[in-house]
Every structure is written in structure tokens, then in C-alpha cells.
């Protein structure tokens, strides 16, 4: 039996021949793959080899031969996705993902149930005199859509030839008519230099979407460039791109299945999907090119797919494991993003396994015609450097990661956007910054307490106003109504009659009717002269009586009542609900920080003095960031532990060694600490969510680079010297690492440099920097660790040898599997072929069975022998 085939040893291909004498003549066996000490040798495969070559071969054959069916299915899915991608709802508020147990989440729910929040806007007009500002104020007040306007000659509203108008519109914040009213104001002031700040609409979301479109185009250019640089045939690039684009479109189109996704997931999922999953297509394409060196297109496609499915599926588990850790976060945006990315990776796997085999068949001939020299150089110097410094780099790296751990623990995390600087500023950020420079910033929280006791509210507001941390407060109890009276001040009959200049007798009858309506008959019996009623309650009662026709007023008094009723109704809608009252407290403190968080606790203590055992809530930006701070303390530990455990489990079963996973995780965790030491050293604030997300992605995705190097080294170290093994390993791993790593790093850098959103920007910056550090460490530190620790890895191995069954046979037999034994000689390897003669083999991971000997197989082999000789 003569075998002639090429062993692709990556850098140095060579040809071997061996022969076995069987029954007096040389016999060429039909060998598909023979493995000698782990090195793959490739040869021709007979046309009928697809029959019975194992489960994966059958699956791969079905996929390749039914490629038109999969083309149709993917085409339908893509068309559907182009329509359905518009169905998804995007949540733009971070607070929506806070746990239901947090004060912010409960407070927002309470305010939504109890109060009406009208649309508001701050309009700054620059380069005008105060007299011009007054005229503008009068024009704005005449607009029917504006129900409240705040403007005066204080520095809070006019400063440095700039006027600031606080507008409240007559529609709820979510009502489209409020935006239309704002557009009317902009149109009115179009001749002036105006700057508008508002929480209405989705201007920020639209800008983020616009930014991500630009980023996606740039990342696409980078991907094409990297693929062209790392390719071996020009025609493989469209195969890879079509595979990814199809998966990306379907991912985008299936977002609606989640109902609502966060703006973060909506923005970065596709870019991260590209960076995380392009490896899968590259691995399959490389496997196909290897098989195609000796096999026709179809057979090479089948064999490559049968090997790629388990290989790629195993590789994806570390990434999925890291993402699963994000699902354990209390902060719901972690689960949201994890589910989006895991779904994206699974769809990428389906694209590679089901669509790409057909594309390889479609572009196979073009790939053969467009072969070119690889542009990626060999890097033997890296392996030589690793061998020379194997005793130096590991202890040095240990010192570095210890220092990095200490430094990164002081990373200045923040929980809101007010203290984050982004390379790009949105239009809204520019406007807010200009307003803040001229009129200062405001930090408002809403204090909600049980309703019904105006005296307690008045005392509470007075105590808060006296604190140096409070700029001013606003509630029913301290809002002026008329002539120095507050809305909740109690007025007697005489006070009310003098205020509105009404006849005493009419007001007395009105108070009597109010007492009857309030079922306060004791006041009627004991006399009404001392009976006092809160001003706002009496005004609203009087308005109802006039509206129902029980009371008639003069025109002037009726106009006064109408105007007062409008303003009081707005105040009631915003500040008093059926069960709770709301007070607005404007702080002199920043939105976050230890002092701010401590004062929030103090506010609770003060409010509890007046409302014992009451469920007092203080929603606001400061409270939201305090809640995020508290959840981060827990999420940080959970995400780290779960991501390490998830990846550890995958690595344990991948390498069957306890030592290898520990070494690899130590390297990647060290990279994470180094990565987050940079913000600490630069004293640059980092949004907390960036750490949670990027550390999970790094642990799951960047460790793949380490797996590529470690797996190859462990395979080669027993076949050659350690020095040659590490040199060969680095030459082998470099193309994969430079392809995947450059894409992920550049994607992160583009996101970090071109996004105006603090959370998205932080994710990009940390991901780009972290990936670059990972590449450096696995190229220049991990090899030394492997050289120094390979004995520990071997000693901690728990791979179990599977007992082999000795099978005997004679005549024509099909041998399929990794075998060891004698065929009138000795063969050790992975054999897929036919043997005529006597065989005594240990068969592992395969089978040996008798087949009918009709001579056809021998004739086929003889023909191939003749072709080979030619």
C-alpha cells in the first residue's frame, strides 16, 4: 500500500510516502486523512467516500447538496428582516433597566401613576438686551400652547446679554403636540440666536443612530481591508462578507422578538457581532482551502464543514460564556445586551454552517482562479524571543498584573453622564453646556410624600430650604398664588372676600357649601367666622360651583378666576396626586458623589420625622446614579466570578487539564486589570457599565487568541524541540490573531472616537484598548508562560484513555477512524479508506466493517494510481 500526500505544516509543506506490502503486491489505499503524531496529511478522497463516513459527514453532505434550499431560506429571512427591523422599540432611558426594587424605579412608577408631567423646554436667546427679552417673553406668553413661562430680571434668567426662558407646554411630555408647540416657538424666534434644551423627543437617539451608521461604514471598510490583506484568494472576501452581512441583517430583523431593546444594544450589537463572529467564517474558509489542496470543491467543502462545525462551536462557547455573565447583572441593560449578542453569535454560526458552504460552492472556481501570495509575513523572531525570555517574562508579568490590580481598583467610575467627557459632543450636549456656562447647572430631585397634610408639607419644605445643600424648593405649600398668599395657606371668609373683592355674604355662603360638601357640619353649627380653608381648595371649589351654574361672577372676577384656575390646575397635576404629593428640591450639589449620596440619605431622615413609616421616595438623576452605584457594587463581583467560571468550565473540557485554564484566565484577567488601570492613571472618569460589559467580552472573546496559541503549542511540543514548537506555534497563530484582533480593536476605537454617548463611547474605548493589550500579551507573554508551565499543564491533565477494542478481519474492509495496529505491517494514523488483506487494528473514534468485494473499489483505486503516476 503506497500513500502519497502533502502534509501542510503551515510554514513548510513537504511530501511523504510510505508503503505496506500486502499479499505480495503494492496496494494504494484510498486515504482521506492520515494523522502522524498530530500533523494532518491530506490526500485524495474517492467519490463514494461520502457514504457512511460518520454523522458529521452526513450532516455536511446534506447541507452542501441542499445549498439551494438554504439560499432560499436565507433569502426569505433577509427580506423579512428588512421589514421587521422597523418593528423594534428602543428604550433610551438608563433608568428603565434599574431593578424594580430600586428607589428610582419605584419613584418613576409612582410619578407616572400619580402625577402629570407636562412638556418643558429651556430656550436661551443670546445677543439681546433685557428690553428685547421682555418683548420676547410677552410674545411667548400669548401662545395658546404655552401654559407657564418663567422669566425675570434675576441672573437665573438674564445674564451677559443672554435670556433663558423656562417654558411649560399644555401637553404631556410624551404628547407629539408638545413637540409641535416647541417647533412653533422655534419658528417664532427664528430671527434670533436660540439654543433649546429639552427632554422631549428622541433627538439624542437619532444622533446616536446617525453616528453608528458612520461607524458601521468605517468598520466595514476596515473589515474588507483586513480580509483582503489576510486572504489567500481574492474571491474568498465576498464569501466572507456575504456570510456576515446575511447574519447581521437577520440579527437586526429579529430584534423585535425581544419587544424592547436598549439604545446601547441597538447601537453596538451589529458592530460587535462583526468583530466577535468573523472568526467563525475565517476558520471555515481556511479549513476549506486546506482540504481543497487535494480534494475537489464539493468534497473539500463537505470535509471542511464536517470538521468546522465542532471546532467552531467549541470556539464560540468561551464568548457565549463571557456574555452569559452579563445576564447575572441586576442592572437590566446587562441581560438586554447579553441576549442581543448571544443571539447575534448564534445567527452568525447558522450563517457559517448553512449559508457559507453553498457560497463556497458558488465561488469555488473563482477562488481557484484568484489565488495570490499571502501578505502576512512569518514571525519566527517572536518565537525566538519567547524562548530566550521564558524565565524572565512570566515573573515580570506577575508583578505587572499585581500592580494593575491595585491601580485598577481605584478606577474613577461614574454613574451618570454629567462628569464624562466624550471626544464628540451631540447638539444637545453643546446646548446644555452653553446654558450651564451662562446660568449654571441644576440638580433636581422629586420628594414624594403622602398627600393630604399641607401643614406638614410646609414645615418640611421650610426645613429643607434652610439647608446649605438646597438651593430652593417648590411645592404647593411654598408656591405663591396671589398677593403674597401661598397655594396652601388657609384663608377665612373675610380673607378670601378681600382677596377677590367679593361680597362677604356671598363668600360666607360659599364657605358654608364647602363645609357641607366636606361633611364638616360642626363648623356650620359653631359658626363660620373662624373657619379657614386652603386657598387652592377654595379656588377649585369656587370654579366648580361657577362651572355648574350655582355661582355667577362679574366678568373681571371671572377672568381672574379662569386664569388662577388654569395655573392652580397645572400645579395640582404636577405636584399633587390622589395618594401622594410631590415636592421639587433643587440641590447645590453635583448629580453624583459621596456628598450627594449622603445628602439623599439625610433627606430621607428629615422626611421621616414628619411622615413616620411612610414609603417616601426621592426619584431624580442623583438618586438614579446612587442606585446604579449600589447595583454596581454587587454586579461587579457577580460578573467577574460568573465570567471566569463559565470560561473555566469550557477550557477544562477543551484542554482536559486543570493547569491550562488557570494560566489562560490569569493572562486575560491580567489584561483586564491592565486595561482599566489606564483610566485610573489618567484620572479620566469612566461610565461604570463600560467596565461590566467590556470585561465580560474580553474574558469571553479575547481568550480565543490564547486558546489558538495554547492548543497549537500543546500539539507540537512532543514532536519537536520546545524552541521549534513555539516558533511554529507563533507563525501558525499570527494570521488568526491579526485578522480577528485588528477588527475588534479598530471597531472599538471607532466607537470610542466617534460616539457622543458616554456609555457607548466608554465601551468602545475600553474594548479597543483592551483588545490591543490582549494581542500584545498573548503574543509576547503567553508563549513564555506556556514554555515555563507546560510541565504543570501535563501533570494536571485528567484526560482519560478510552479502552480500545481489538477488531480482526480479512478480505476487503473499510477502515474509518484513528487506528493503531497491523496490516501486514504497522500503521498508526487516522484512516478513511479501504484495505484488502488481513487487518488487526485497535479502532478509536471510528469503526471497521466488512464490505462486499465486487472489485469496483480496487479498479477505482488502480485508476487513481495511474493518474497519480502520470
Per-residue pLDDT at 844: 53
569-618: per-residue pLDDT in tens?
A: 888 998 999 999 999 999 999 988 899 999 999 999 999 999 988 889 99
Confidence band for 21, pLDDT divided at 50, 70 and 90: very low
Say how many residues make up the chain: 870
Helix axes 535-547, 504-517, angle to 10 degrees: 90
335-345: per-residue pLDDT in tens?
A: 998 999 999 99
User: pLDDT higher for 212 or 468?
Assistant: 468
Task: Give 261's strand partners.
Answer: 90
Dihedral sign for Cα 108, 109, 110, 111, please.
Answer: positive
852: burial class by Cβ within 10 Å (0-12, 13-18, 19+)?
exposed
- Torsion, Cα 257 258 263 266, to 10 degrees, reads -40
Phi, psi angles (nearest 5°) of residue 750 = -65, -45
CB 7 within 8 A of CB 16: yes
Residue 744 has pLDDT above 60, yes or no: yes
pTM, two decimals, is 0.76
* C-alpha to C-alpha distance for 451 and 453, rounded to whole angstroms: 6
For residues 662-666, average pLDDT: 90
* C-alpha to C-alpha distance for 508 and 510, rounded to whole angstroms: 5
* C-alpha to C-alpha distance for 591 and 436, rounded to whole angstroms: 14
* C-alpha to C-alpha distance for 374 and 376, rounded to whole angstroms: 6
Residue 2 has pLDDT above 60, yes or no: no
Q: For the sheet with 443-450, list strands across it.
A: 443-450, 580-587, 470-474
Per-residue pLDDT at 699: 83
Per-residue pLDDT at 39: 33
- Cell numbers given for 336: 438586554
Residues with Cβ < 8 Å from 162, sequence gap 6 or more? 124, 125, 126, 127, 128, 438, 439
Residue 33 has pLDDT above 50, yes or no: no
Per-residue pLDDT at 458: 92
- The CA distances from residue 180 to 151, 170, 830, in Å, are 22, 11, 74
For residues 235-260, average pLDDT: 91
Three-class SS of residue 273? helix
Number of H helices, E strands in the chain: 30, 24
* C-alpha to C-alpha distance for 401 and 669, rounded to whole angstroms: 9
Residue 30 has pLDDT above 60, yes or no: no
Q: Indicate the pairing of strand 443-450 with strand 533-534.
A: unpaired
Amino acid at each position: 500500500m503506497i500513500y502519497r500526500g502533502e502534509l501542510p505544516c503551515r510554514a513548510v509543506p513537504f511530501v511523504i510516502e510510505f508503503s505496506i506490502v500486502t499479499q505480495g503486491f503494492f496496494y494504494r489505499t484510498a486515504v482521506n486523512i492520515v494523522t502522524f503524531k498530530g500533523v494532518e496529511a491530506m490526500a485524495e478522497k474517492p467519490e463514494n467516500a461520502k457514504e457512511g463516513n460518520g454523522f458529521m459527514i452526513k450532516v455536511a453532505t446534506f447541507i452542501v447538496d441542499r445549498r439551494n434550499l438554504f439560499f432560499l431560506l436565507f433569502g426569505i429571512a433577509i427580506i423579512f428582516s428588512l421589514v421587521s427591523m422597523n418593528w423594534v422599540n428602543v428604550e433610551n432611558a438608563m433608568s428603565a433597566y434599574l431593578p424594580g426594587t430600586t428607589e428610582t424605579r419605584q419613584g418613576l412608577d409612582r410619578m407616572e401613576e400619580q402625577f402629570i408631567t407636562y412638556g418643558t423646554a429651556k430656550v436661551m436667546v443670546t445677543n439681546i438686551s433685557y428690553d428685547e427679552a421682555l418683548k420676547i417673553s410677552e410674545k411667548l406668553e400669548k401662545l395658546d400652547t404655552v401654559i407657564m413661562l418663567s422669566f425675570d430680571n434675576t441672573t437665573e434668567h438674564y445674564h451677559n446679554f443672554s435670556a433663558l426662558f423656562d417654558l411649560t407646554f399644555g401637553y404631556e411630555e410624551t404628547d407629539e403636540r408638545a413637540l409641535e408647540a416647541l417647533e412653533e416657538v422655534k419658528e417664532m424666534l427664528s430671527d434670533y440666536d436660540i439654543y433649546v434644551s429639552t427632554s422631549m423627543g428622541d433627538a439624542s437617539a437619532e444622533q446616536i443612530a446617525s453616528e453608528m451608521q458612520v461607524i458601521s461604514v468605517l468598520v466595514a471598510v476596515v473589515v474588507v481591508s483586513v480580509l483582503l490583506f489576510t486572504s489567500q484568494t481574492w474571491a474568498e472576501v465576498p464569501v466572507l462578507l456575504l456570510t456576515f452581512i446575511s447574519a447581521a441583517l437577520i440579527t437586526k430583523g429579529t430584534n423585535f422578538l425581544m419587544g424592547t431593546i436598549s439604545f446601547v444594544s441597538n447601537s453596538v450589537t451589529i458592530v460587535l457581532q462583526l468583530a466577535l463572529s468573523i472568526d467563525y467564517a475565517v476558520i471555515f474558509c481556511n479549513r476549506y482551502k486546506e482540504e481543497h489542496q487535494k480534494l475537489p470543491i464539493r468534497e473539500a467543502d463537505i470535509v471542511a464543514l464536517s470538521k468546522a462545525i465542532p471546532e467552531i462551536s467549541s470556539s464560540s462557547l468561551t464568548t457565549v460564556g463571557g456574555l452569559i455573565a452579563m445576564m447575572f447583572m441586576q442592572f437590566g441593560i446587562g441581560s438586554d445586551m447579553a441576549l442581543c449578542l448571544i443571539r447575534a453569535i448564534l445567527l452568525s454560526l447558522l450563517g457559517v454552517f448553512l449559508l457559507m458552504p453553498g457560497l463556497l460552492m458558488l465561488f469555488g472556481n473563482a477562488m481557484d482562479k484568484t489565488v495570490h501570495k499571502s501578505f502576512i509575513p512569518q514571525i519566527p523572531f517572536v518565537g525566538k524571543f519567547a524562548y530566550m525570555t521564558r524565565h524572565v517574562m512570566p515573573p515580570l508579568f506577575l508583578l505587572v498584573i499585581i500592580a494593575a490590580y491595585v491601580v485598577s481598583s481605584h478606577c474613577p467610575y461614574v454613574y451618570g453622564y454629567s462628569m464624562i467627557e466624550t471626544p464628540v459632543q451631540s447638539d444637545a450636549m453643546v446646548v446644555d453646556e452653553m446654558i450651564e456656562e451662562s446660568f449654571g447647572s441644576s440638580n433636581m430631585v422629586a420628594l414624594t410624600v403622602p398627600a393630604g397634610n399641607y401643614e406638614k408639607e410646609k414645615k418640611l419644605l421650610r426645613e429643607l430650604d434652610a439647608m446649605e445643600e438646597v438651593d430652593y424648593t417648590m411645592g404647593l405649600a411654598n408656591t405663591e398664588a396671589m398677593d403674597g398668599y401661598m397655594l396652601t395657606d388657609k384663608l377665612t371668609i373675610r380673607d378670601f372676600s378681600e382677596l377677590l373683592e367679593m361680597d362677604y355674604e356671598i363668600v360666607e355662603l360659599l364657605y358654608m357649601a364647602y363645609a357641607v360638601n366636606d361633611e364638616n357640619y360642626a363648623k356650620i353649627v359653631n359658626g363660620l367666622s373662624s373657619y379657614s380653608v386652603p386657598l387652592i381648595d377654595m379656588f377649585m371649589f369656587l370654579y366648580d360651583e361657577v362651572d355648574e351654574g350655582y355661582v355667577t361672577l362679574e366678568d373681571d372676577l371671572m377672568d381672574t378666576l379662569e386664569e388662577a384656575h388654569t395655573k392652580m390646575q397645572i400645579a395640582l397635576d404636577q405636584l399633587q396626586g390622589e395618594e401622594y404629593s410631590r415636592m421639587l428640591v433643587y440641590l447645590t450639589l453635583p448629580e453624583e458623589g459621596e456628598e450627594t449620596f449622603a445628602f439623599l440619605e439625610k433627606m430621607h431622615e428629615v422626611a421621616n420625622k414628619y411622615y413616620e413609616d411612610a414609603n417616601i421616595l426621592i426619584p431624580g438623576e442623583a438618586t438614579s446614579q446612587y442606585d446604579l452605584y449600589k447595583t454596581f457594587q454587587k454586579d461587579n463581583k457577580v460578573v467577574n466570578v460568573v465570567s471566569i467560571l463559565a470560561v473555566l468550565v469550557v477550557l477544562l473540557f477543551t484542554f482536559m487539564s486543570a493547569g491550562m485554564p488557570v494560566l489562560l484566565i490569569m493572562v486575560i484577567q491580567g489584561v483586564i486589570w491592565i486595561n482599566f488601570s489606564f483610566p485610573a492613571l489618567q484620572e479620566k472618569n469612566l461610565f461604570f457599565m463600560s467596565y461590566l460589559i467590556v470585561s465580560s467580552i474580553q474574558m469571553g472573546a479575547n481568550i480565543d487568541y490564547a486558546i489558538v496559541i495554547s492548543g497549537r503549542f500543546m500539539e507540537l511540543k512532543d514532536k519537536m524541540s520546545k524552541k521549534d514548537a513555539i516558533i511554529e506555534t507563533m507563525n501558525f497563530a499570527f494570521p488568526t490573531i491579526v485578522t480577528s484582533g485588528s477588527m475588534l480593536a479598530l471597531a472599538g476605537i471607532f466607537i470610542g472616537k466617534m460616539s457622543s454617548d458616554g456609555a457607548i463611547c466608554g465601551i468602545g474605548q475600553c474594548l479597543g484598548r483592551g483588545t490591543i493589550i490582549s494581542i500584545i500579551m498573548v503574543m509576547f507573554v503567553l508563549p513564555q508562560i506556556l514554555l515555563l508551565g507546560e510541565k504543570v499543564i501535563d501533570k494536571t491533565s485528567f484526560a482519560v484513555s478510552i479502552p480500545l477494542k481489538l477488531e480482526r478481519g480479512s478480505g476487503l474492509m473499510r477502515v474509518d477512524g484513528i487506528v493503531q495496529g497491523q496490516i501486514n505491517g504497522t500503521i498508526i494514523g487516522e484512516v478513511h479508506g479501504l484495505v484488502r488483506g488481513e487487518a488487526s487494528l485497535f479502532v478509536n473514534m471510528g469503526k471497521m466493517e466488512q464490505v462486499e468485494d465486487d472489485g469496483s473499489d480496487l479498479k477505482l483505486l488502480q485508476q487513481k494510481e495511474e493518474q497519480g503516476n502520470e
